[in-house]
Chain A
Amino acid sequence: MITRRTFVTAAAAAAALGPHARAADPVKAAWVYIGPIGDHGWTYAHDQGRLDVEKAFGDKVKTTYVENVAEGPDAERVIRRLAQEGNQIIFTTSFGYMNPTLKVAQRTPDTVFEHATGYKTHSNMSAYNSRFYEGRAVCGTIAGHMSETGVGGYIASFPIPEVVMGINAFQLSAQKVNPDFRTRVIWVNTWYDPAKEADAAKALIDQGVDIITQHTDSPAALQAAEQRGLMAFGQAWDMTSFAPKAHLTAIKDNWGPYYVDRVQAMIDGTWASQSTWWGMTEGAVEITPYNERVPANVVAAAEAVKAEILADTNSVFAGPILDQSGAERVPSGTKLDDGALLTMDWYVAGVQS
């Protein structure tokens, strides 16, 4: 059965039936990656999570991975073979693996699957993702304080809800600090093309942007900001080494806690299909150390936003929120819930997309 992502664990009833490992043998866990583990971004972050599992369980677990797996039939084959090789839990870490994972899951009831960033689940297939928008809110707060031109640049990949809510979170938080703040968005229609990302950053800078963030995978935009003496944020991992002056902070994808939790569930025999959306509270989204050029009052403001999010993740999207046409989308006193976030296809006022 395919369900939309719900945020209450729905399949708790299946828990007792869930497959689990025998106590003596190590649990075999496998990861499927879209890029090389050396991409210093998305795949690298997932592989660090795999290493956290090795660290946490030692010889109680045996991990393996396959990198550079194309989405589609190639992914299906790799996932299937990893199941045939006796892996009991398989993490597939790209949106395009959703349908291939589901296909294999339906045919392989004795193996459990965990798919990242998708919306389909099955009795032996979970969906998981992180609340990256929480990090965007912190970055937006810093941008609101530090931008002198009052215009931030946002290099975006594809207008899927995850990217759209990130842009909105950035703009909403920045305009809380500076009501005149604007976010200029460039869609590059790719997840990875360093030269194009760098050119997009330069184009934004030439139009008066002095602080840049990106929802693409390379540090090229940071480097462009560094070369022009401006500011930017890291993506997926601490990218300070690429831009020591421009890099204010980064949103770190910390997959380790989730992976450890799931493998622990396999060992305990309590694994159940679920949809999970962890954030800062669970340690899945982290803000890396601030650059020393960020003044103390701005650090304090950023930390205050963090504390607010830790208390209530949906505080980022508290009303009143206007959309681009000026119409009120979220009235004062209410907040957007997760369901609305996960289908978000509109931009808040102040976003120039």
Chain B
Amino acid sequence: MTEAIAIAILMTVIGAATPILLAALGELVVEKAGVLNLGVEGMMLVGAVSGFAAMALTASPLAAVLAAMAAGTLAALLFGVLTLTLTANQVATGLALTIFGIGLSALVGEGFVGRTVDVRPPPFPAPLAEGAWSRLLFGHDALVYVSLVMTAAVWLFLTRTRAGLILRAVGESDLSAHSIGYPVIAVRYGAVAFGGAMAGLAGSYYSTVLTPMWAEELTAGRGWIALALVVFAAWRPWRLLLGAYLFGAVMTLELHAKAAGVSLLAPEFLAAMPYLATVLVLALISLRRGPGAQAPACLGRPFKPAH
């Protein structure tokens, strides 16, 4: 394998990993706050269509990013009202949110089918990305760098800030957090909105960068991979980054092997691998650190104070 091909492969791996990393970072914060939102796929789709529409109408990358984040946030807030204020079941509401997102994005996107938009250039000056290796460093879309910065930011927020501490407390024991006087519901609303914004952003990566177009169900199930990734990473931001690149490699290496005329394992086995690995990791963590050590304790449970 030549150096050029190795770099080319790494470029595709990073491209495949970035959107699932973005969506998973959002869902990680949501789950750390004790909320399970299974509607990632739906939020990604409304983000994808909004980002594409904004790009097609204004030709402004910034508008595309903002529209995608706003649309994802709105969809997430719908979930928030139902599950946090009205205490509806999170699993059922999240699944309904995905049905909603598929339908809404298809309807909104109707007028944009068959169009394409210009892909924005990398954020660095072009000469910087000219050599093979410098292309690997400076030749990506801006969202690739955003996803790296956000990984660090989420890690800093969760481990080094007071707000992050409160958020984790809310996720581990909502009743104690409430009795100390933390606003459990408000914190969860904030987390859910953040998750929506990140999922929307991830969706726009597909519709404006990877395949600059809109088509129904454009994300083709990547939202579920993002959900698996959060668990695979055991709710830790840096492992999330590592996991995303690993998942990205699994998703694209098979294609490169085939292009080179090498047959790897059965493609179905490779497709199942991220999910199998996630189950395995969950089991291993429990073996090492005892039962229940992994997930936020209140994950998926509605907050019902006794007052």
Quick check: do A and B touch in the complex, using CB within 8 A?
yes
Q: Nearest A residue to B109 by beta-carbon distance?
A: A38
**A189 interfacial contact with B, CB 8 Å:** yes
**Contact bitstring B1-17, A, C-beta under 8 A = 1, else 0:** 00011001101100110
Residues of B within 8 A of A190 (CB): 220
**A265 interfacial contact with B, CB 8 Å:** no
Are B116 and A194 in contact (CB-based, < 8 A)?
no
Are B9 and A206 in contact (CB-based, < 8 A)?
yes
The residue from A184, A187, A202 contacting B12, defined by CB atoms under 8 A apart? A202
Are A200 and B267 in contact (CB-based, < 8 A)?
no
Are B8 and A194 in contact (CB-based, < 8 A)?
no
| A195 touching B206 in the complex, CB below 8 Å, given contacts A206-B8, A219-B213, A242-B116 | yes
Are A39 and B216 in contact (CB-based, < 8 A)?
yes
Are A186 and B255 in contact (CB-based, < 8 A)?
yes
**B:37-91 near A, CB below 8 Å:** none
Residues of B within 8 A of A219 (CB): 213
Are B211 and A38 in contact (CB-based, < 8 A)?
no
A328 to B151, CA, bound (A): 58
The residue from A36, A38, A184, A194 contacting B261, defined by CB atoms under 8 A apart? A184
A198 to B12, CA, bound (A): 10
**A:211-230 near B, CB below 8 Å:** 218-220, 223, 227
Are A223 and B114 in contact (CB-based, < 8 A)?
no
Interface centre among B9, B119, B258 (most CB of A within 10 A): B258
Size bracket of the A interface: 35 or more
The residue from A189, A203, A209 contacting B256, defined by CB atoms under 8 A apart? A203
Chain A nearest CB: distance from B240 CB in Å? 20
Are A223 and B116 in contact (CB-based, < 8 A)?
yes
Are A195 and B16 in contact (CB-based, < 8 A)?
yes
Size bracket of the B interface: 35 or more
A206 to B218, CA, bound (A): 24
A206 to B4, CA, bound (A): 8
Residues of A within 8 A of B126 (CB): none
* CB within 8 Å: A-B pair count: 102
**Contact bitstring B200-237, A, C-beta under 8 A = 1, else 0:** 00000010001111011011101000000000000000
Interface centre among A38, A207, A243 (most CB of B within 10 A): A38
Residues of B within 8 A of A285 (CB): none
**A40 interfacial contact with B, CB 8 Å:** yes
**B180 interfacial contact with A, CB 8 Å:** no
A188 to B256, CA, bound (A): 12
Residues of A within 8 A of B255 (CB): 186, 188, 196, 199-200, 203
Are B16 and A223 in contact (CB-based, < 8 A)?
no
Q: Nearest A residue to B205 by beta-carbon distance?
A: A195
A36 to B211, CA, bound (A): 19
A193 to B206, CA, bound (A): 11
Are A38 and B119 in contact (CB-based, < 8 A)?
no
Are A39 and B215 in contact (CB-based, < 8 A)?
yes
**A283 interfacial contact with B, CB 8 Å:** no
Residues of B within 8 A of A325 (CB): none
**B130 interfacial contact with A, CB 8 Å:** no
**B33 interfacial contact with A, CB 8 Å:** no
Residues of B within 8 A of A204 (CB): 259
**A192 interfacial contact with B, CB 8 Å:** yes
**Contact bitstring B259-288, A, C-beta under 8 A = 1, else 0:** 111000001100000000000000000000
Are B218 and A207 in contact (CB-based, < 8 A)?
no
| A241 touching B116 in the complex, CB below 8 Å, given contacts A193-B220, A199-B16, A206-B9 | yes
- 7 closest A-B pairs (Cβ-Cβ)? A206-B8, A203-B259, A203-B255, A38-B113, A194-B211, A207-B259, A193-B220
Q: Which residues of A contact B (CB under 8 A)?
A: 35-36, 38-40, 153, 184-190, 192-200, 202-204, 206-207, 209, 218-220, 223, 227, 241-243, 352
Apart from A195-B219, A199-B255, A203-B256, what are 19 other A-B pairs with CB-CB below 8 Å?
A: A36-B216, A38-B215, A40-B114, A186-B258, A186-B259, A187-B267, A194-B206, A194-B211, A194-B213, A195-B16, A195-B210, A198-B211, A200-B255, A202-B8, A203-B9, A206-B259, A218-B211, A218-B213, A241-B114
9 contacts between A and B (CB under 8 A): A39-B113, A39-B215, A184-B261, A186-B258, A186-B259, A198-B211, A200-B259, A203-B252, A204-B259
